[in-house]
Amino acid sequence: MENPFVRKMERHVRLASEDRAILDGLARQHIRHIAGRQDIEGPHTEPYHTHLILDGWACRYKQFPDGRRAIVALLLPGDLCDPFVFRRARMDHAIGALTPVTVARITPDQIGDAIRGRPAIEEGLWREMLTTTAIHREWIASVGRRSAIERLAHLFCELHLRLTWAGLADGTSLPMPVTQPDLADALGQTSVHINRTLKELRTSGLVALRSRRLTIRDLDGLRERGLFDPAYLLPA
């Protein structure tokens, strides 16, 4: 069973088998398990390690003094929490596990070693980073200018592709292990309204969601509903 990180990298660049072995090695060292709802990296810390998500979902979030929470990114299996830790000092946000999560802890040196003399890996990490940035832009546009249904439909489309590329979707059916309050914090709404919107997507026959699994019944319809254009996810 290939690991999701390697699969994703292979979408960006052609990897030699040695490249693949190096990346796979990163994912097999210093494995840690983190309980759901725990922080992987707290706010205001100066982390020395980065983490590669192997299983479960996490998020990058900001917490306001009065308790409001904004989820600014979702981290799925195969995602690197911070590919370039070695440049950064203080965290201006936190990283939290939304479900129980398995991670591999990686040091800056290990990333440096993996890149050295392996241009494919370097290029792959770059593209990964550019894709992440493109997702950020799309989220700003989404929260700023898409309606509730459009936002939710768009997010589902994004997750569908990201999980597919990590080898974790089964055709048009994908894991969706987060709660409605989590979705709400990611989309800038309330859980009540997420629930309403979900119902509307369901009754219009676009998706089905039960027991933590989303099934897209009408992919084209869902994409249209969310004004989804996959171009932003394809840095090639």
Partner DNA sequence: AACGCGCGCCAACCTGTGTTAGTTTGCCCA
Partner DNA sequence: TGGGCAAACTAACACAGGTTGGCGCGCGTT
- What is the footprint of a second copy within residues 178-217 (CB under 8 A)? 185-188
Map residue 204 onto helix, strand or coil.
coil
- Residue 232 sits at the vertex; the CA angle it makes with 51 and 190, to the nearest 5 degrees, is 70
- Give the binding range for DNA (CB under 7 A) out of 11-19, 59-67, 205-213, 227-235: 205-213
Is residue 149 within the footprint of a second copy (CB under 8 A)?
A: no
Stretch of 24-32, 113-121, 198-206, 227-235 lying at the interface with a second copy (CB under 8 A): 227-235
225 binds a second copy (CB under 8 A): no
Does the footprint of DNA cover residue 193 (CB under 7 A)?
A: yes
**59 vs 120 by CB, closer to DNA:** 59
Which of 111, 48, 56, 59 is closest to 81 using CA atoms? 59
Which has the closest alpha carbon to 52: 34, 36, 71?
34
Site for a second copy in 78-137 (CB under 8 A): 84, 87-90, 92-93, 123, 126-127, 130, 133-134, 136-137
Considering the complex, what minimum distance in angstroms separates the CB of residue 116 from a second copy?
Answer: 16
Say whether residue 99 binds DNA (CB under 7 A).
Answer: no
Nearer to DNA, 21 or 35 (CB): 35
Q: Which residues contact 184 (CB under 8 A, 6 or more apart)?
A: 190, 191, 193, 194
DSSP class of 214: E
Task: Indicate whether 192 belongs to the interface with DNA (CB under 7 A).
Answer: yes
Beta bridge partners of 80: 52
Partner interacting with residue 180 (select from DNA, a second copy, none; CB below 5-8 Å by kind): DNA
What is the sign, positive or negative, of the torsion defined by CA atoms of 114, 115, 121, 126? positive
Distance CA 214, CA 8 (A): 21
b/e sequence 199-210, b meaning 16+ C-beta within 10 Å: eebeeeebbebe
- The footprint of a second copy (CB under 8 A) covers 60, 62, 64-65, 68-73, 84, 87-90, 92-93, 123, 126-127, 130, 133-134, 136-141, 143-145, 185-188, 227, 231-232, 234-236
- The footprint of DNA (CB under 7 A) covers 147-149, 179-181, 188-193, 195-196, 198-199, 209-211
